Structure 1
Amino acid sequence: MLFSNISKEYRVKKQQASLFQDLFNRKYSEKVALKDVSFQVNKGEVVGYIGPNGAGKSTTIKIMTGILKPTQGTCRILGVDPMENRMQFVKRVGVVFGNRSNLMWDLPVIDSFNMMQKIYKIPRVDFLDNLHELVTLMNVKNFLSTPVRQLSLGQQMRCEIIVALLHSPEILFLDEPTLGLDARSKIAVHQFIKKINEEKNLTVVLTTHDMGDIEALTSRAIIIGKGSKLFDGDFSSIKDKYQQYKKVRIEINQLNQIDEVVSQIKNDFNCELMTISANEIVVGIKNDFERLIQFIVNTETIDNYQVQSLNIEEIIARYYSELDI
């Protein structure tokens, strides 16, 4: 998979002062969605493609799946341009969008699977083999005859992934695959994607706002912001960057002393974050951590304290802030 020097611009109509101008003298501005973005994905890789809202993630996926044509640059998926010979191309890729469904809402799940066999012209023997394997792996046998509208979000997503894999694609694009799912359903989706990747050497490109998905499924992450690629590498290197950053939760046993403790911490320590609620102070600190702990131990008005590392969501939030995206 090659994504080379891709840029994408949209023409956006400007709102003008009068209806007459709006109709007969329209003016447009150029909006840059992607700006000179390049990366490669090798066969069998699982890659996380992440960034804040409006960063250009969906535009990238639409270009890679042949929905959009780039303004400039070269996109080659499985050795071909996704916009050319589209009927043949879509037979080689699978796509799951967390906010769109390929299932027929009022019909039993099995009817959607059978419809996909007809659309993709899957030989009957191959279809039945794939269906049996996927239904078993995703544990959906008990609700194949249930109308889609009666399924839970987790059950629906498992069926969406099956639909995307029935025709044995070589690449699977997943856009927010765990959107709205509970913890148990997320784990089931994670386990299945890892298993299918390992067994079939399936290439997976994952876009998500859920950093739990990235941590569970990928080792490589590509971060995009304001249309530009900002990072491409091992996701653990981002986590390691913030390994020394700690959150210290401090409980004060005398409420009338909390202002004094806050003042001392602000004046004596290099704190990057401080929040105060009731009898509790939360301090974010990096360089003065050991000295802060010594202060806490020696301060009688502090009843208890707890040290926490940043969770994955907090790490990414800080990383985005540093990159100003």
Structure 2
Amino acid sequence: MKSLAFFNNKGGVGKTTLACNMAHYLSSNFNLKTLVVDCDPQCNATQLLLQDEEWLDIYEDRSSSERKTILKVLTQIRSGDSGIDTDFVVHRSERFGVDVLAGHPTLSAVEDKLSQSWTDFRAGSFGGARRSRWVAALVAATDYDLIVFDVGPSLGALNRSVLIGTDKFVTPMAADLFSLYALDNITEWINSWTHDYEAAIAAVTRENIGLPGVLDLPQTSGIEQGFVGYTIQQYVSKRTGNEVRSVAAYDRFKLQIPERARMLTKFAAPDVIDPALGVVPNMFSMIPLAQSVHAPILELSPKDGVRGAQVSQQRAYSDQLKSIGDALAENAGLKR
């Protein structure tokens, strides 16, 4: 595995927090040179990973922000060409121990370009194929051991292009009704365009035989064997007096997730035995604290403001995140 996307078309499932913390854990514990690519126009991963002054320097001047972000990679595609710009800038997140290819709010405007590129690709256009596979070109152009993609909650062209170009993907979940719908939607969506991809490759090969690079296009997107599992975000339990009550709806939906997720396992990676990676604990005040100091939860300390009961909480949360990280690494075929 070289590239890993954290993807769910449902928002509010802790995707960005998990992606950044897993990038830190895999980088530090598996000795992987890691790049986090922020493909969410909301740029939450960029803001978590980089210090305030760093991301202000990136975005304060809009005219210069494009060359410091993911938009630099997409310069040619945005202007109608088919290649990517590999002379892009990465920023170092010292606390997370990873490099960052910053996101940009204007990334959402690229959606139309990529949607048209997909239409062109299906019609046999080699240029459409190259534009649709821009993420694969980006991954191939780097010397990183691991590239983690954080994407927004969408089933649109941008996220399709990310999944086409990555090796593996994780689906963070919440135990609620709409997460069950999301599992159905994701399965149907991937199933649809992976079939389209194979037909499109055949059309491109037929229409452009003899052009350099055409025969190098993969016959499948690769994501057909890319699913490495899901996590479930813990629900906040309610307390009556000294007794903690489980929330009936949470428990009911949580029990349904394994069966509904079984549909996604048709896309499972070869090393996946159990797609259930674990329950992401509700970290209460740890999340805003981690965001304020731009640090992974595993590394928070009293110097960062961890006080009193938070010390034992942070230790328990860290143990759970490490367990998820180890399960993810095993399913993705990573070796220490």
Structure 1 and Structure 2 fold alike (TM over 0.5): no
- Whose RCO is larger (CA < 8 A, sep 6+)? 2
Which has the larger share of strand? 1
Which has the larger share of helix? 2
Structure of larger gyration radius: 1
- Taking structure 2 as the reference length, what is the TM-score of the superposition? 0.30
